[in-house]
Amino acid sequence: MTNPHYGEAEFLCYQVIKQVRERYGQSWDLPKTEFYKLCYIVDRRLQEEDIDIELSTHWYRYGGVLTTDAMNTGFYSLEEQTWGENAGSNVLIADGVEDSDFDTDEEVERAISEMSESVVDELGQGYGISVSQDYQYKEYAPDDFVRSLHEFRSFIQDIDEDDALNSEDYISGVDVGFKDIIGDSSPDKTGSSASSETNNRIRDHLDALLAEYPEDKYSQMEGLFLDWENLSWQMAKNGFYSRLQDFMESFWTTFSRVELRPKNNQHVPLSIRSQWNNQISDEMESFENEIQEKREVVLNNRRETNELDIISESYSDTARDLFDQPLQNE
């Protein structure tokens, strides 16, 4: 049987797995996400030493990752694994694969091996993906906006607050209730009121994102970003924290597919980049529909109150116009 042919890019990834297995053992957990991050970091550090092996990578929701569609991945295997409540894939070297299966320059091979060993020793010691992920965002985030978005996402995930609305406050047949978006958030009218301390921090994060958004670089998503920011603030003011987390993930996924990976990638073949670009209109339309659903909740559940008359009169095509209020009055 003829040995498969792999190049220097594959050798880097192979070395990361090999270093983890030699240092920590075959039973050591190497989740696929962690594997991607370690490979990305090794590659970036090699580039800093003017060694570019043309590894295909791009930036996505959780940081820099391998563009595996552009690689021959037969040198490793994925084993289904469960870590607590999370399920994923553990990365192992495929049976029978050895160093001799890779076509590499001797000096480059030595540099890859040494750098892989160094990164695995520093960041691969079983802390989970948070260490390598935070390192990536600190050292290699494409811009301040992406770095701040990661910080906001981490903060939202860690919020330990009860939602202000009970199940009976939701409107049957829709995912978001009328009061979820426009409900009065003052403590004496909402029962379980939103946390002032939590919301002050949310407001700080959102203000930073507004200030840092690079309109020229990410122009396609600017309008949807403004809608998302404004609706996110309304959810926070109403103590609607669980839905805020879901909305964050939805925006982050759409932004990653529309703006992040197409504009922040290296050595990705044109055919793959074309596939990404062909998906952009559908991704934006899907997120536009999600925002529209929240608008329709307001219009479809109007009540005979002065508050709603005012809202209906001022309703416009964007969530920002719908909920426009000076920040100092919020």
pLDDT tens string 247-301: 899 999 999 999 999 999 999 999 999 999 999 999 999 999 998 876 664 344 3
Q: Cβ contacts of residue 202 below 8 Å, gap of 6+?
A: 155, 156, 232, 233, 236
Q: Domain range for residue 211?
A: 141-313
Same domain for 70 and 42, yes or no, is yes
pLDDT of amino acid 161: 75
Same domain for 101 and 249, yes or no, is no
Same domain for 85 and 226, yes or no, is no
Same domain for 145 and 293, yes or no, is yes
Q: Cβ contacts of residue 282 below 8 Å, gap of 6+?
A: none
In a domain, 14, yes or no: yes
pLDDT of amino acid 291: 87
Same domain for 197 and 223, yes or no, is yes
pLDDT of amino acid 242: 81
Cα distance between residue 283 and residue 280, in whole Å: 5
Q: Among 97, 132, 167, where does a domain finish?
A: 132
Q: Cβ contacts of residue 162 below 8 Å, gap of 6+?
A: 192, 239, 241
In a domain, 328, yes or no: no
Low-confidence ranges of the chain (pLDDT < 50): 1, 165-174, 176-180, 182-192, 297-330
In a domain, 3, yes or no: no
63 sits in the region (left: phi over 0; alpha: psi -120 to 50; else beta) called left
Same domain for 147 and 264, yes or no, is yes
Same domain for 155 and 15, yes or no, is no
In a domain, 1, yes or no: no
In a domain, 212, yes or no: yes
Same domain for 179 and 111, yes or no, is no
In a domain, 330, yes or no: no
3-state secondary structure 259-304: HHHHHCEECCCHHHHHHHHHHHHHHHHHHHHHHHHHHHHHHHCCCC
Same domain for 106 and 247, yes or no, is no
- Measured between alpha carbons, how far is residue 88 from residues 33, 72, 216 in Å? 9, 21, 37
Domain count, the chain: 2
In a domain, 90, yes or no: yes
Q: Among 91, 111, 132, where does a domain finish?
A: 132
Determine the longest span between alpha carbons in the chain, in angstroms: 79
In a domain, 321, yes or no: no
Cα distance between residue 246 and residue 150, in whole Å: 15
Same domain for 82 and 209, yes or no, is no
Query: Residues 257, 136: contact at Cβ < 8 Å?
Result: no
Same domain for 253 and 160, yes or no, is yes
